[in-house]
Amino acid sequence: MESDSEEVAVGANVNSYDGPLPYNYEPPRQERGQAELRGRVNGQRREIELWCEENRWRIGQVSWCLCGRCEAMPSAVESVCCREVDAYWSLVQTLDPPEDITCLTLHPGFEASCLNPFVLQIAYMNFRQEHGSLQASRPEQFRYTAYRQVVRWAYGILGRNIRKAIPSCVVSAIRRQFAEEGQTYKGFQWPRLEDD
């Protein structure tokens, strides 16, 4: 009788798993503290504000435009051309086959991904699922989603509270496509951080 109980005990250990353990050597996730995030955003903000001080002359005119499609903007941070920002201009330069395009707004992917209302509806549904609905009119939802699309296209995923100004020509094309009668546009805004 004793031999039967020993066999059962030995049999139970035979089926145990001795192989590699998944995620065993993955580093634990580290949460970024609010202070670290605030420091990173404030560092970016200071750098951009210094640039804006040096480039106040850009406000209200378009002599700085290299693509020929920019419009005058109310702030220096918004008064940039797509050809001045590597992240945007590289989208044009990496076209295969190369095309003679002078502005990002003429890129075949721009209209398809940033101005097409059907694409923007799907992108907005994704945004709404993650962040909730925007309390805004339909054209304003389209503009907001189009801005997010073009930034994602140029920079990939930036992360929470990381903002990038969008070139004047791109903003102008989006505003023309999704215009609203009597609308006053907000323009570039810094993220609202606690203790700000």
**What is the pLDDT confidence band of residue 138, given thresholds at 50, 70 and 90?**
very high
Least-confidence region, from 30-34, 43-47, 104-108, 138-142: 30-34
- What six digits make up the tokens of 182? 């009597």
For 25-52, give the DSSP string: TPPPP-PPPHHHHHHHHHHHHHHHHHHH
* Arithmetic mean of pLDDT, 166-191: 88
**Measured on CA atoms in the order 96, 102, 103, 107, is the torsion positive or negative?**
negative
Instruction: For residue 67, give the nearest of 32, 100, 109, 30 by alpha carbon.
Output: 100
Written as six digits, the tokens of 179 are 């215009």
% residues pLDDT > 70 (the chain): 77
Of the pLDDT bands very low, low, confident and very high (cuts 50, 70, 90), residue 74 is: very high
Comparing 186 with 1, the larger pLDDT belongs to 186
The fraction of the chain above a pLDDT of 90, given in percent, is: 48
184 band by pLDDT with thresholds 50, 70 and 90: confident
Among 88, 174, 83, 91, CA closest to 99:
91
3-state secondary structure of 127: helix
Q: Please state the rounded mean pLDDT for residues 169-181.
A: 93
pTM of the predicted structure, to 2 decimals: 0.74
Number of other CB atoms surrounding residue 22 within 10 Å: 7
Q: Residue 24's CB: how many other CB atoms inside 10 A? A: 6
Domain ranges of the chain: 38-177
Residue 29 has pLDDT above 90, yes or no: no
Is the pLDDT reported for residue 42 higher than 80? no
Q: Looking at residues 123-127, what average pLDDT do you find?
A: 93
pLDDT at res. 161: 77
Give the sign of the dihedral formed by CA 162, CA 68, CA 186, CA 126: negative
Confidence (pLDDT) at 98? 78
Q: Is the peptide bond before 97 cis (omega within 30 degrees of 0)?
A: yes
Give the mean pLDDT of 143-153.
95
What span, in angstroms and rounded, lies between the C-alpha atoms of 4 and 69? 87
Residues 3-15 have pLDDT tens digits of 554 554 444 555 5
